[in-house]
Chains A and B, each alone.
Chain A
Amino acid sequence: MRWGMLIDKVRCVQCYACQVSCKQAYFLPPGIFFNRVITGETGRFPMVRKHTYPLLCNHCKDAPCVDVCPTNASYKREDGIVLIDHDKCVGCKYCIMACPYQQRTSVEYSEQYPGQGYNDYEKFGMEYHPYQEGTAVKCNFCRERLDEGLEQGLVPGEDRAATPVCVNACPAKARTFGDLDDADSKVARLIREKNAQQLRPEFNTDPSVYYVID
């Protein structure tokens, strides 16, 4: 079993639903993202092309962030998810350096409304989903939802409650989630059918996130 995701850039409309719903689900402070949408352009007028990439941790099979972690805080689960044990993270930021996709951040709290204190939502988040400042954070493929869902017999990628929030949130249905090792899973089939590609193959990290580019 290896959890993975397909992101279809043809379907994506750059609405930032993934970025914002993830921030909301994880009570992320300002400036901290698990999902980001970046946009750029190539070519010259009028043959210009815009490119939008929703980005998140690729949960690489060969993850440099796991290798470089001095405390074994970063580790890879058997099902392929790369996780961080925040009780062990010492905040050296080496993993942040080493990630070829720049998906890790050192978490710090700051007010959503600067100078106006933390509001009830932020305070709730600090208690319900607290962060240890100075440690590294990143997308965890909504590990809690996956695990709880599996316990209840749900199928991640098919049942919403067991599926990552960003996948559920996308109005264009640009994201598919499932077991990459299951050739019959929707995500595996789509990757093959659409000739989806991984980002930055030159780093040989074998990401679990694939993109339909065209």
Chain B
Amino acid sequence: MAKASVESEKKPEIWEDTWIHTCCGGCYGTCGVKVHRVNGVPIAIEGEEGSTLGAEGGLCAKGVSQLQVLFDPNRRNYPMRRTNPKKGIYEEGNFERITWNEAMNEIMPRLKKIREEDPSKLVWMSSPSPNAVLRHNILMPFFAAYGPTSQMGGGAAVHCGNGAHHVTGQYFGAWDAGPDWKYCNYAMFFGASGGFGSGHAGTMNIRMAAEARERGMKMVVFDPMCNNTGDKATEWIPILPGTDGAVLISMINIILNDLDIYDAPYIKTKTNGPYLIGPDLLYVRDPETKKPMIWDTEDKVAKPFNDPSIKDFALFGDYEVNGVKCKPAFELIKEHVKSYTPEFAEEVSTVPAKTIRRIAKEFAEAAQVGSTIMIDGVELPYRPVGTAIFRGGQGHTNSLHSVYATHIIGQILGAADVPGATIALCPSRCMGDPNTGRPDVSCFADTDGMLVPGLWSTLQARTADDYVPRHGAPKVPCKRTGLQDLFTQGMSSVFHSSKDRHELWDKLGVIYKPEMLLSWATNNVHGLGNSETVAEAVAEIPYVVCWELYPTELSEGFADIVLPGTHHLEHTTSCADAYDLYFNAPIAKEDWTIHITQPVIEPQYERRFIADVIFEWAEELGFRDEYNELLNMRFDLKGKYAIKKGEKLNLTQVSDRALKCNHGDDKGMDWFKENGFIRWPKKPDEAYWRPFLDVRVPIYLHDLARWGPTIIELAESRDVHADWQQYTPFVSWFPTPVQKVPDDEYDLICYSYRTTLHTGGQTHQIPYLVEASQMNPHIYNIVINRETGKAKGFVDGDIVTIESNYGRKTTGPLVLSDCVHPKCIGIASTAGHWVKGQPIAYKQGVHFNTLMELDLEHTDPVCLSIETSAKVKVYKAGGSK
């Protein structure tokens, strides 16, 4: 070691001192960052000052600590082949090093053979973080060109997004939604941590939420735990997991029926509230145009909803149209929610009825229905109330309805995509770089007038005849292992790995003969749900290839080949094409900024960038041109920028074209590498687009009425049963399987919660983050309510076992806290690794996921979210830590 003192000026000779612009990949927030490199060694990461996709130079700990991943000696550095013939959850691969050629000589013949025989024998899975761009822009087109493959998945989506993204897509045209921090005065959070942890546009939200707090925004947080969000709340309201919907609907009841507050003009023109509903619970349609009908109260006649002669819309009344007795949907909704009294909500959620009444009143009054505000010279509706629900709130079998309830409460007040209200967290509308007008994307209306997202495609536009969901009309037999051909309202599915998968496949006609699994940065054995269940599913696949940065429980237990991937600080991608905007972008009126990623260090050893290898595979499998076409679509490459037949570009070159296509010939990858990002002002009608676009949202859940009977009939005909009552067009609350378990033996509800320090499982291998985690009582310990714990005879440090009513167990050290609901016991998510190849993560924290049952009973029968809580008992395992 050199003898120079810290205070002395003697430093080693510096021959390089540079900053490199790129994006963070510590979570899926992709904040803009810059990396300080000295003498070839990246030594510091900071937020990108001057970019709105971030915190004006700030950056959370996850982002800052990413450098450690570059130097982790436990990284996968070479292709490896398994030598341990045994596979299983706790096995180790005993991998031997091989060359890339050897690895390809094993993988490529298999890929070719499967493609020729039946592409569905190939199973693949990937993770949305870091860098969602890779999955959607590189992998999905590849597999689309390859053929109809099968999919597996990790925790992402089935835990966090099936309900949330579905509804925010329908209601906001966006991947996620949250309060407009700058103008919101009153926000309600339900199991969400946007602005207080990671999440879409992570540090930007943190920055803006902090300003909102300082400004005096009131924030009410419903959560079983006073966690990151509750900590900063004006009011933390403890609530049982999975009961948010009951509280929300009772608030809707109070607002509509007790207080009689709602934004009638908004409901009439921006929702399907005025649409007439017949006894079959479906729209009454115009026989000629097939359009849903409304009742014009002035002309006293029914008209198609988009008839230009409409003078006013009825929201109440009994009508008869073409012999069909019907009522406006809004009145039906208003009537329906009456049964959700605060007393009922209190009974199921433990939130006092008095509190529910008070909060509902405060929220409705704070909405200032009818008010306006001037922004940049444009007069806009002003509704300074917002709501948010994400992982915790929507991670239940009543997911879809809970999320609907969270956003219907805003919709009835006109509080959507206007200043102060709930707005698209990832953009719904972009009118493009002023120099080029690109990317020009916007949500739009389908034939029923309903909003369809323009930036991402969970939900397709309806055809002239009928609404056709993403995967087409429900049908059996199913081809997809995830059964989304039947459960068409679902996005990601768990049925590829559930414990009842074979039974369901047999009944629904799925033919599944997997031969190979390709996994990108997905650790489903640890991250999806009960590990034994997932392991069984993986074990059915004879040949497994894992592409990853570190050894994982999946690869060590099951991989035949492991390929060393590059970290986001080791490769180049473009975050420039439109489909990345859907995941992270500056919100509200924050200027648009578009970033790229570039390497801060060349990949060491034999690590390779996924995109390079995928492009090679496309070439070798003979569909490079077809793949190029799909890339053209994905990147929206037009004219001279489109990839031509026969062209063999790498991703950097494709990205270069995408950037030039969107921002001008002078702004390709070189320009972005030099400057880091491009920035231009956002217009009010981009940020607050709602008044400017003629789109409506379904507060009456017509899709469920339309497709529910078909799905139910098809399923029942195959002896498949689920909680079909959820296919109701009326937003409702349904108890989860957890709530149905009596309290006698299993008296606590175990749930997991997010911490700011971790996203996905990989952050537990980062020493800085583990050190910080150890300094927080709620990250590596199981947390129980203090009085509940004392009554059970526990003290801080006891090693306890948590056992679910299905016999699933997990063990760890306990702390007692007043920050937890008395009937709940919490475990921080993503922890509890047992793979020895991650020595820093090894045995840190407690593994929650194994408590989650994976089956149809524990799945939302509409959107396919899974139940992320469990009914448990807890007892001492012996010993104290």
Touch between A and B in complex, CB under 8 Å?
yes
A interface list, Cβ under 8 A from B: 8, 10-17, 19-21, 23-25, 27, 30-31, 36-39, 41, 43-46, 48, 50, 52, 83-87, 109, 112-117, 119-122, 124-132, 137, 140, 143, 160, 165, 168-174
In the complex, the answer to whether B771 meets A171 with C-beta atoms within 8 Å is no
Question: Which residue of the partner chain, among B57, B65, B70, B771, contacts A168 with CB atoms under 8 Å?
Answer: B57
Residues of A within 8 A of B74 (CB): 113, 116
Bound CA span A31–B770, Å: 11
Between A and B, how many residue pairs show CB distances below 8 Å?
Answer: 213
Q: How far is the CA of A95 from the CA of B447 in the complex (A)?
A: 75
Please name all residues of chain B whose beta carbon is closer than 8 Å to the beta carbon of A13 when the two chains form the complex.
195-197, 206, 209-210, 228, 231-232, 756
Asked if B458 CB lies within 8 Å of chain A CBs, one says: no
> B6 to A131, Cβ gap below 8 A?
yes
A87 to B4, CA, bound (A): 9
CB of B46 within 8 Å of the partner chain: yes
**Does the CB pair A14–B73 fall under 8 Å?**
no
Q: Answer whether residue B757 sits at the interface, using C-beta atoms and an 8 A cutoff.
A: yes
A-B contact pairs, 15 of them (CB 8 A): A15-B60, A15-B757, A17-B64, A19-B61, A20-B64, A45-B238, A48-B819, A113-B74, A113-B767, A113-B840, A125-B43, A126-B2, A160-B49, A169-B46, A171-B202
Docked-complex contact A168 and B58, CB < 8 angstroms:
yes
**Closest Cβ–Cβ distance, residue B600 to chain A (whole Å):** 12
Contact B41 A124 (CB under 8 A): yes
- CB-CB under 8 A from A169, the residues of chain B are 46-47, 57-59, 64
Q: Are A171 and B767 in contact (CB under 8 A)?
A: no
Q: Which residues of A contact B58 (CB under 8 A)?
A: 17, 168-173
The CA-CA distance from A10 to B55 in the complex, in Å, is 17
In the assembled complex, the Cα of A16 lies from the Cα of B203 at a distance in Å of: 12
Q: Indicate the member of B12, B786, B818 with the most A CB atoms within 10 Å.
A: B818
Q: Which 9 A-B pairs have the closest CB atoms?
A: A171-B55, A171-B58, A172-B210, A16-B61, A171-B203, A48-B818, A11-B210, A119-B71, A20-B61
Task: Report Cα–Cα, A8/B211, bound state, in Å.
Answer: 11
* Contact B772 A16, beta carbon cutoff 8 Å: yes
Contact B60 A171 (CB under 8 A): yes
A128-B206 in contact (CB<8A): no
State whether A45 touches B768 (Cβ < 8 A). no
User: Is the beta-carbon distance between B8 and A87 smaller than 8 angstroms?
Assistant: yes
**Closest Cβ neighbor of A116 among chain B residues:** B73
Contact check, B775 vs A36: say whether CB atoms are below 8 A apart: yes
Q: Which of A37, A45, A87, A109 contacts B818 (CB 8 A)?
A: A45
* Interchain CA distance A153-B416 in the complex, whole Å: 47
- Indicate if B820 sits at the interface (CB-CB under 8 A): yes
Q: How far is the CB of A50 from chain B (nearest CB, A)?
A: 4
Tell me the smallest distance from the CB of B43 to a CB of chain A, in Å. Answer: 7
Contacts of B38 in A (CB 8 A): 124, 128
CA distance A30 to B73 in the complex (A): 16
Interface pair B70/A17, CB less than 8 Å apart: no
Known A-B contacts A48-B819, A113-B767, A128-B43; the reply to A173 vs B64 at CB < 8 A is no
Q: CB within 8 Å of A: which of B669-723?
A: none
What is the chain B residue whose CB lies nearest that of A131? B6
The winner among B55, B196, B213, B817 for most chain A CB atoms within 10 A is B55
Let me know if B88 is at the binding interface, CB within 8 A: no
Q: Is the CB of A127 within 8 A of B207?
A: no
**Which of A10, A25, A85, A160 is within 8 Å of B213, CB to CB?**
A10
Beyond A114-B839, A131-B6, whether A46 also contacts B238 by CB under 8 A is yes
Measured in the bound complex, the distance between the Cα atoms of B6 and A127 in whole Å is: 11
Given known pairs A127-B2, A169-B58, the reply for A25 and B775 (CB within 8 Å) is no
Q: How far is the CA of A140 from the CA of B209 in the complex (A)?
A: 30
Query: Are A83 and B7 in touch, CB under 8 angstroms?
Result: yes
Closest to B755 in A: A14
Chain A: CB-nearest residue to B4: A130
Given contacts A46-B238, A83-B7, A113-B73, contact A121 B68 (CB under 8 A): yes
Q: Which of A17, A45, A122, A173 has the most CB of B within 10 A?
A: A17
A12 to B55, CA, bound (A): 13
B647 interface residue per 8 A CB criterion: no
Report the minimal beta-carbon distance from B57 to chain A, rounded to whole angstroms. Answer: 5
Closest chain-A Cβ to B705's Cβ sits at a distance in Å of 39
Nearest CB in chain A: distance from B824 CB, A: 11
Contact between B771 and A30, CB atoms less than 8 A apart: yes
- B21 vs chain A, min Cβ distance (A): 15
Q: Could you tell me if B787 and A14 are in contact, using CB atoms closer than 8 angstroms?
A: no
CB <8 Å contact, A16 and B756: yes
A112 to B777 alpha-carbon distance, docked (Å): 22
Say whether B524 faces chain A, with CB atoms less than 8 Å apart: no
Name the residue on B nearest A113 (C-beta).
B73
> Closest CB-CB distance, A71 to chain B, in whole Å?
13
Contact between A16 and B210, CB atoms less than 8 A apart: no
Contacts of A30 in B (CB 8 A): 767, 771
Judge whether B772 and A41 touch: CB under 8 Å: no
Q: Given the complex of chains A and B, what is the CA–CA distance between A10 and B817 in angstroms?
A: 22
Are A119 and B8 CB-contacts (below 8 A) given A13-B756, A171-B207, A174-B210?
no
In the complex, A87 Cα to B213 Cα: how many Å?
A: 46
Does any Cβ of A come within 8 Å of B72's Cβ? yes
Q: Looking across the interface, which residue of chain B has its beta carbon closest to that of A114? A: B839
Task: Name the residue on B nearest A50 (C-beta).
Answer: B231
In the complex, whether B782 has a CB less than 8 A from a CB of chain A is no
In the bound assembly, the distance between CA atoms of A119 and B786 in angstroms comes to 43
Asked if residues A172 and B207 are in contact (CB atoms below 8 Å), the reply is yes
Does any Cβ of A come within 8 Å of B776's Cβ?
A: yes
Q: What are the interface flags for B429-442 relative to A under an 8 Å C-beta threshold, 1 for contact and 0 otherwise?
A: 00000000000000
Instruction: Give me 13 other A-B pairs in contact (C-beta within 8 A), A112-B68, A130-B3 excluded.
Output: A14-B228, A15-B197, A30-B767, A45-B785, A85-B5, A120-B41, A124-B39, A126-B1, A130-B6, A143-B7, A169-B57, A171-B55, A172-B207
Give residues of chain B (714-748) contacting chain A, Cβ–Cβ below 8 Å. none
- Interchain nearest-CB distance for B207 vs A (Å): 6
Q: Beyond A116-B73, A129-B6, A171-B207, is A20–B56 a contact (Cβ under 8 Å)? A: no
Contacts of B769 in A (CB 8 A): 16, 20
- Contact present for A23 and B44 (CB under 8 Å): no
Query: How near does chain A come to B756, taking the closest CB pair, in angstroms?
Result: 5
A86 & B5 in contact (Cβ 8 Å cutoff): yes
The listed residue (A19, A27, A37, A132) touching B5 by CB distance below 8 A is A132
Do B65 and A20 touch across chains, with their CB atoms under 8 A apart?
yes
Tell which of B49, B61, B211 touches A17, judged by Cβ atoms closer than 8 Å: B61
Q: How far in angstroms is the closest Cβ of chain B from A213?
A: 14
- Tell me whether A113 and B213 are in contact in the complex, defined as CB-CB below 8 angstroms, given that A13-B196, A30-B771 are known contacts: no
CA distance A87 to B775 in the complex (A): 31
Flag if A39 contacts B777 (CB, 8 Å): yes
In the complex the two chains form, is B771's CB within 8 Å of A46's CB? Answer: no
B214 at the interface (CB under 8 A from A): yes
How far does the Cβ of A113 sit from chain B's closest Cβ, in whole Å?
Answer: 5
Indicate if the CB atoms of B786 and A45 lie closer than 8 Å: yes
